[in-house]
Structure 1
Amino acid sequence: MTTTTTDDRALADLQREHGPALFHFLLGLTFGDRQRAEDLLQETLVRAWQHPEAFDGPYESMRPWLFTVGRRLAIDARRSRLARPAEVSDAVLESAPGREDTAESAASALDVRKAVRTLSPEHRAVLVQIYFRGLSVGETAEVLGIPAGTVKSRSYYALRLLSRNLPGYSSRSSSVSSGSRAAASATAA
């Protein structure tokens, strides 16, 4: 294949004769990444087109020249990838926790503290044991010296009161009429 200019037919012959072997060689260099191997194959063939003097070389086959160019391109591409930060796929970004707004978080904490202060000491004591100290209903009953049923009802009504006192929070159970709320509050205490 000795020519002084690379015409389309010479390049087509080059690709047909050496393309599959070069592709498999580049596939190994890219650790099985077909897309990168195809990109490197195309770039290698472009280099052959840009350097017609390679066709006039002293060797019988262009394959060694193509493999050398392909290997150097693969090395350059790898160095280039390693020189910049790693790419993150969309799946990783979607699964990453969102960055919470600290001002919003602080405002919410203040709202919760204000709402908890509106509770009676009995209701507050039950919530502290169950939600802040992580005790079970039985353990809370033992610590506070009250029956487990009372712990359950106080926590239920305390949470309902909190849902009414927290801005922007609505609960399914807050649709109970205010008359039955007053009766329930009286029996819960």
Structure 2
Amino acid sequence: MPLDEDVVAAIYRDHGTALRRFVLSCMPDAHLADDVVQETILRVWQHAPQITGSLRSYLFRTARNVIIDNYRKAQRRPIEAAEHDLADPAEAAERVDELLNRVLMEEALLRLSTEHREVLVALHYERFTVNEAALRLNIPSGTVKSRAFYAVRALRTILDEMGVQR
């Protein structure tokens, strides 16, 4: 399949910065991170007609797979004298999964209304009680409960649209 430079350029333009930030959070080497981003975008471009759901979610999942594939390849080759001990492959995969989940949740939260996001952040991230959240947000406790209920429903819908599996 010939490379459609416009499509690849559009993917880089729309998602490259967020994708690179995610990959850099998984691996400290900027050059390797750039290679992972490039490989990820090329893989996604090759499979673009079959993608359903959020392109960004698919990009992050693909980057995760590329990172893990690269890690496994590195584990199979002999250790060079200058290399440091690498973590267990299962731990590395778990760390990448945690980072991916965090990135996808942040993207999903940004799609919520400000009111719903504020309530969810107060209750679930800042660990406020309903009454504490009501005081902080300057709204009645009943409103906090109602917004929390509808925010969770909206968040589930957004995550489903993004193709995030629960």
Higher relative contact order (CA 8 A, sep 6+): 2
TM more than 0.5: no
Which TM class, normalised by the smaller chain length? 0.3 to 0.5
Structure exhibiting the larger radius of gyration computed from Cα positions: 1
